[in-house]
Amino acid sequence: MAGILAWFWNERFWLPHNVTWADLKNTEEATFPQAEDLYLAFPLAFCIFMVRLIFERFVAKPCAIALNIQASGPQIAQPNAILEKVFTAITKHPDEKRLEGLSKQLDWDVRSIQRWFRQRRNQEKPSTLTRFCESMWRFSFYLYVFTYGVRFLKKTPWLWNTRHCWYNYPYQPLTTDLHYYYILELSFYWSLMFSQFTDIKRKAAKMANYAKFQKMCDLLFVMFAMVFITTRLGIFPLWVLNTTLFESWEIVGPYPSWWVFNLLLLLIQGLNCFWSVLIVKIACKAVSKGKAGKWNPLHVSKDDRSDIESSSDEEDSKPPGKSPHTATTTNGTSGTNGYLLTGPCSVDD
């Protein structure tokens, strides 16, 4: 194990030339980052995960109930053994040919089968209450970390003079505030490893949508778009990438881990560009629909960020020449196969 750790923490990979780990040992005058500090993130990650469970149960849930957000989920698809078998064993998105076959087998019209599959897919989605609680946890954590970061970073001299940072690199003393900030962030993202398989991917602005505060939701989306594009396409490349790529090259010079970190930063910048394009497309789509009178500008309740599938696309795909069937009832069962206990799905969702 010691050999593996020695290989992983090889000085010639992580540190600039003529610098060793011994040069970064803590002294009475200064404290430096230590590799062992990373191990603190694992137990703290579990603690943050437990704090999250408590927060969602005793803080977020009461807030959601106070905003009249219910725990009920989407409409439940009526039981049907044949469709359930297709859904679980074959496909959750049947093509036109399969829909036609099921329509003949069940004596249902295609639109009703499409609606059943849509409701069945939505049935597996979490309730609005669950989504609100998770969004509130993310919002609360990010707000706290952002506020804390702004409070102590504005007092950090090397933040405003990045060239000075590289002249002293890597002999930058580690302050208590900075150590806490990095360990907290690292622990939070490690905590997501415990919940990534059950988390719902939502933004903090979704809380306003769940509470049906549409104007606030639209305003938050506008603010999010402005801040995201300004910071990710402006501040990040002009300030962060400029100093890590060019100033560090000029003052310190490249070394193996320098290439790795800067390639990762460039990858992040590529993702920032991709995400910014998606945000602009959503905004343009919303504005164009608003001009057409279909919805208000930046209306998000049923746009590309919606949580539940819309019925318009599927229900408009009714095959030509296919008339709806009406299921017959025989001995208390409906349809030709006797699997449906009631009539076909109603037209209204």
By DSSP bridging, strand 329-330 and strand 333-334 are antiparallel
Length of the chain: 349
**CA dist 43 → 38, 102, 148, 182, 185 (Å):** 11, 52, 22, 15, 13
Give SS3 for 12: helix
**Element containing residue 283 per DSSP (H, E):** helix 256-291
**CA dist 4 → 1, 7, 210, 257, 285 (Å):** 5, 5, 49, 18, 53
Give the per-residue pLDDT at 290: 63
Q: What percent of the chain has pLDDT over 70?
A: 80
Is 283 within 8 Å of 298 (Cβ atoms)? yes
Give the per-residue pLDDT at 14: 93
Is 232 within 8 Å of 275 (Cβ atoms)? yes
Give the per-residue pLDDT at 62: 95
Give the per-residue pLDDT at 302: 47
Give the per-residue pLDDT at 240: 94
Residues whose CB falls within 8 Å of the CB of residue 199, separated by 6 or more in sequence, listed in order: 134, 192
> Which tokens hold the place of 37?
């500090």
What global pTM score does this model have?
0.73
pLDDT tens-digit readout, 176-229: 888 999 999 999 999 988 787 667 655 576 677 777 777 888 888 889 999 999
User: Per-residue confidence of the chain (349 residues) as pLDDT tens digits?
Assistant: 788 888 888 999 999 988 999 999 998 888 898 888 989 999 999 999 999 999 999 999 999 999 988 777 677 889 999 999 999 999 999 999 999 999 999 999 999 999 999 999 988 888 888 889 999 999 999 999 999 998 887 777 777 788 888 988 888 888 888 899 999 999 999 998 878 766 765 557 667 777 777 788 888 888 999 999 999 999 999 999 999 999 999 999 999 999 999 999 999 999 999 999 999 998 888 788 765 444 444 444 444 444 444 444 444 444 333 444 443 333 344 443 333 333 434 333 4
Query: Could you identify the residue written with the tokens 């049947």?
Result: 94
Strands, E assignment, 200-343: 329-330, 333-334
